Amino acid sequence: MAGGRRITLAVDIGGTFTDLEFRDSLSGETHSLKSPTTPDDPARGLTEAVALAGERFGFAPGDVSLILHGTTIATNAILTRDLPKGALVTTAGFEDVLEIGRHARTDIYALRGPDRTVLIPRRRRFGAPGRIDARGNEVRPLDPPALAGVVEAVAATDVEAVAICLLNAFANPAHEIAIRDALAARLPGLAISCSHEVSPEIREFERTATTALNALLVPVIARYATTLRARLAEAGIGAPVLLIQSNGGAISLDAAARLPVRLLLSGPSGGVLAAQALARRLGIPDVAGVDMGGTSYDVAVVAGGECGVVAQGEIDGLPVRAPMVEMITIGAGGGSVAHLDATGRLMVGPRSAGAMPGPVCYRRGGEEPTVTDVNLILGRLDGARFLGGRFALDREAARAALEARIARPLGLDLDRAAAGVLAVVNAKLAASIKTALFARGLDPRDFALMSFGGAGGLHACEVAEELGVRRVIFPRDPSTFSAHGILSSDIRHDLSRAGIMRPEEASLPALAAMATELQEAGEALLEADGIDPGRRRMSFSADIRYRGQAFELMTDFPEGPLSATTLSELRERFEAQHRRRFSFDDPAEAVEIVTLRLTATGLLGEEGAAAPAYAASEAAEPGSRPVHVDGAWTEVPVIRQLSLAPGALVEGPAVVEQDYTTMLIPGGWSLTMKETGDMIAEKRA
């Protein structure tokens, strides 16, 4: 690198904007930038954002040494069903497991259950001969002629991807491997996913659904990886690219193409990890982190300084058996469309205008009013300074759309219609936070709200009031906070082995053998990533349940060698966790370990690196504008965040602006600038 300069880039491609944050090795400084997403070719938007950052901050493409990339490619492919044709090969007699699923009633008052999402139709699901029992013993061998028939049946379907998920393959994958090899020999280039590699755990339905999702996403991510490499090469960027997983860790492009199901919360997970780090730094251990972008609103809980990680999540009704940060997402963002339903009720979202055409005020062909349009109409946004003045907004177009679509049909004046849209969306945002906290037995009033994302600052204090929350935290760069979290990501591999046993001394030999196998596999993966031994970290956890329970809790192992003492402490940790989550435990009941897990981490950044110092970098320029706040139009001060020195106090009502986001401080609130550059708004008594 010229002059030894190295730029580490973090890129978070959302539905509306591409967020970028980078660290300069020479100065140690971090900078952020926001650019519109290009939905037709997200890789083009990424390289355009990098080029724009290079022009603004003075670095060349060759200075980029590493790209950490969060993406919604996998999630969007599932939500839009933009997936290739796929087939499923499973144990004969189990071809219908995807449709049978679990007989859980999500709505106990419904007369019929919801339609199940099945991504692979029955005509492309094939039963394979042979059988493995739960202990991994071969009960019935593979029949070569019958196996050949299955391979030919798959070949006749002309599919791009095949999922192989056999009964008890987590205990013995020999039959899956044989079928995979036979398919690969007959159909070179076919994307094949095996359950023993994707999700080697018990529960046939969840394992099959996860493997099927992975298989269907392999061609999608492989194509994106090819396009991204080509775009970067055209831009003169030869840096390696790591994609961010749902667990917040990074993996290589090649590894992501093999296990794309682990990318489903790729971008949002960075924000959760950043929220956890900031909560610890500020000494505020209990926060609800909320990320409001152009399309969605993500809620994650940091309790006691820790964010939750779960072994299984869900996307669009489909279970995903893979470690991921615990969060809930609703369709509510700056681009969420305000509309009237069939009964004339005012609704906001979940439909979004996205980046193209975007809100009406973008002047890109949008015709339906959005949350961003309403904030502009009510003076909360400065249309002339949007995105640092690079993207002027059309207020009159927004007013005309709201008048035609909402105000006139409801018989309201424009101000009341706009305020009504904000009231509806704020109620939705507050309800999602309540859901996330109530599900864990937590009271919102005991938490601070940490607001980030480009649209979050305009709603945070009003949502907090609805929740009874008296403190709101705004990170230093809230608009690109998820990218900031991604910038601090390390390489992470999650491995697991299923085996039901008691946490007792008699189980030590079996557990030790599983732990050794996992650790050797983790070391091999980090070796392939080029991570030095001194920068590797291994940590174990276990999925534990009371005997007879239908679910488990992921519980961290105590530090130290495996022994009867550590197993006893492991049980105590599980019961304490169960007590926190469900308000009871049962020391007399038998406890079972269901799955042993290993997290193999390769450290990329500097451990314990301090956040860069903050100081005011702009001269204060007094200004004000009319803003509709607290139910009326008021002339309020408009303050540039970069003009606030540490310790500065802003009394509401006021507007605090950055290039890429705006924070509204209502009356009765005050905002204080911290030494770190983060801001805390508090409700006055």
Does residue 685 have a pLDDT over 70? Answer: yes
Residue range 198-221, pLDDT digits in tens: 999 999 999 999 999 999 999 999
Q: Bridge-partner residues for 127, per DSSP? A: 90
Q: What is the pLDDT of residue 581?
A: 81
Our CA angle for 426, 484, 28, nearest 5°, is: 145
Q: What is the pLDDT of residue 612?
A: 62
Confidence of residue 1 (pLDDT cuts 50, 70, 90): very low
What is the average pLDDT across 455-474?
A: 95
Residue range 512-529, pLDDT digits in tens: 999 999 999 999 999 999
Residue 263 near residue 221 (C-beta atoms within 8 A): yes
* pTM of the complete model beyond 0.95: no
Query: How far, in Å, CA of 134 to CA of 464, rounded?
Result: 50
Q: What is the pLDDT of residue 493?
A: 95
Residue 676 near residue 281 (C-beta atoms within 8 A): yes
What is the average pLDDT across 18-37?
A: 85
Does residue 3 have a pLDDT over 50? Answer: no
* Domains of the chain, earliest start first: 2-71 (3.30.420.40), 79-222 (no CATH), 267-489+622-642 (3.30.420), 491-602 (3.30.1490)
What is the average pLDDT across 360-364?
A: 92
Does residue 134 have a pLDDT over 60? Answer: yes
Of 12-26, 81-95, 416-430, 491-505, least confident by mean pLDDT is: 12-26
For every residue of 27-82, DSSP letters joined together read: T--EEEEEEE--TT-HHHHHHHHHHHHHHHHT--GGGEEEEEEEE-HHHHHHHTT-
Residue 636 near residue 625 (C-beta atoms within 8 A): yes
Query: How far, in Å, CA of 185 to CA of 177, rounded?
Result: 12
Q: What is the mean pLDDT of the chain?
A: 90
Does residue 37 have a pLDDT over 90? Answer: no
Does residue 611 have a pLDDT over 80? Answer: no
More confident residue, 505 or 15: 505
| Nearest C-alpha neighbor of 15 from the set 289, 352, 362 | 352
Of 64-73, 147-156, 263-272, 452-461, least confident by mean pLDDT is: 263-272
Sheet with strand 536-546: strands edge to edge = 30-36, 17-24, 7-13, 64-71, 241-244, 250-252, 491-501, 591-602, 536-546, 553-556
Q: Give Cα 670 distance to the centre of its chain.
A: 31
Query: How far, in Å, CA of 242 to CA of 249, rounded?
Result: 9
Q: What is the pLDDT of residue 330?
A: 82
Does residue 306 have a pLDDT over 90? Answer: no
Please give the share of the chain, as a percent, with pLDDT higher than 70.
Answer: 98
Does residue 607 have a pLDDT over 60? Answer: no
3-state secondary structure of 291: strand
Q: Provide CB contacts within 8 A for 135, sequence distance 6+.
A: 171
What is the average pLDDT across 661-666?
A: 94
What is the average pLDDT across 402-417?
A: 96
Does residue 610 have a pLDDT over 60? Answer: no
| Nearest C-alpha neighbor of 311 from the set 599, 601, 602, 12 | 599
Does residue 4 have a pLDDT over 70? Answer: no
Please give the structure tokens belonging to residue 149. Answer: 């028939």
What is the average pLDDT across 430-454?
A: 91
What is the average pLDDT across 280-285?
A: 92
Does residue 574 have a pLDDT over 70? Answer: yes
3-state secondary structure 593-658: EEEEEEEEEECCCCCCCCCCCCCCCCCCCCCEEEEEECCEEEEEEEEEHHHCCCCCEEECCEEEEC
